[in-house]
Amino acid sequence: MSEDLTQQLQELDAACDDDEAALNAALEAQRLNLHTSMPGTVTSYDPSTQTVQVQPGIQKLFRGQGAVDLPKLVDVPVFFPRGGGFVLSFPVAAGDECLIVFSERAIDFWWKNGGSQLPSELRTHDLSDAFAFVGFSSQPGIAQVSPGLNASAVELRSLDGQASIQIDGSQNITVQSNAGDITASSSTGMIKLNAQPGANMLQHGVLLGAHPCPVLGVTHGSFGGGVSPCARVLAGPT
């Protein structure tokens, strides 16, 4: 092989190496700027728009600069479970931890109009297009749940466990409040306590209400005379 041809092949190999290195560097830069999901902390919540401001919880590393906080995200929609005409909502407060998920396309037109929309810009996986799933917790956040979460029943509860609604595997429903009232109200209908034949109803205290009784749907004297309207201690079989 001639010396000139050998030199040409060496130069071609070097050029290929340079092109491959440049391509790999470009791909690496794109990958480092591709946002999928990360934890974050709510800094403020607007209930009128159901959006939060969120500080991303993972810093970005720069050569020669070190670790830098990502910018605070604004107008981030909050996820509340919703469907079929129902929604489960809860207060959101500064300091709540969350998972931030980034849309693969710009969400501005969809956020404004719903339905199927064009992307407002050509950006992809951008910090501007985040959703917040409040409830994901770090280990310090998990440690705040005291006592521990119920492992055998569906439960809606306060963080400190002082108030809860439970449904267990035996279909028992338990409502508990150690610090506040349990209130049932109806603006148009009746409030009914239905204990079928064979069931037991035990009330530790006195049922109070107007005449006729809005709780039991009965008038004064249905359980016997001599007691003020709808004031009765119930115990034992119905």
Sequence letter at residue 70: L
Encode pLDDT of 22-32 as tens digits: 777 676 666 77
Distances, alpha carbon 148 to alpha carbons 50, 161, 164, 180, in Å: 29, 8, 13, 21
Average pLDDT over residues 14-18: 66
Question: Could you give the CA distance from residue 180 to residue 176 in angstroms, rounded to a whole number?
Answer: 9
Number of domains in the chain: 3
Same domain, 238 and 212: yes
Least confident span in 41-55, 75-89, 210-224: 210-224
Up-side HSE of residue 205: CA atoms within 13 Å toward CB? 2
Of 141, 163, 194, the position where a domain reaches its end is: 141
Same domain, 37 and 118: yes
Encode pLDDT of 136-151 as tens digits: 999 998 888 766 788 8
Same domain, 71 and 121: yes
Encode pLDDT of 139-182 as tens digits: 998 888 766 788 899 999 998 888 999 999 999 999 999 988 98
Where residue 207 falls among pLDDT bands split at 50, 70, 90? low
Does 3 fall in a domain? Answer: no
- Is 103 in contact with 77 (CB distance < 8 Å)? no
CATH number at residue 127: 2.40.50.230
Give pLDDT, residue 209. 52
Identify which has the larger pLDDT, 60 or 193: 60
Distances, alpha carbon 199 to alpha carbons 15, 171, 206, 238, in Å: 86, 14, 20, 7
Same domain, 127 and 160: no
- Is 58 in contact with 39 (CB distance < 8 Å)? yes
Range of the domain at 57: 33-141
Give pLDDT, residue 133. 98
Does 87 fall in a domain? Answer: yes
Does 85 fall in a domain? Answer: yes
Q: What is the dihedral sign for C-alpha 12, 17, 21, 23?
A: positive
Does 12 fall in a domain? Answer: no
232 backbone φψ class: left, alpha, beta (φ>0; ψ -120 to 50): beta
Give pLDDT, residue 198. 76
Give pLDDT, residue 148. 77
Average pLDDT over residues 4-33: 68
Question: Could you give the CA distance from residue 98 to residue 48 in angstroms, rounded to a whole number?
Answer: 19
Give pLDDT, residue 63. 76
Give pLDDT, residue 166. 95
Of 88, 118, 141, the position where a domain reaches its end is: 141
Give pLDDT, residue 9. 58
Question: Could you give the CA distance from residue 210 to residue 187 in angstroms, rounded to a whole number?
Answer: 14
- Is 125 in contact with 102 (CB distance < 8 Å)? yes
Average pLDDT over residues 182-192: 85
Residue of 34, 179, 47 whose CA lies nearest to 104: 34
Distances, alpha carbon 179 to alpha carbons 30, 161, 182, in Å: 53, 10, 10
Residue of 123, 112, 35, 104 whose CA lies nearest to 77: 112
Encode pLDDT of 76-101 as tens digits: 999 999 999 999 999 999 999 999 99
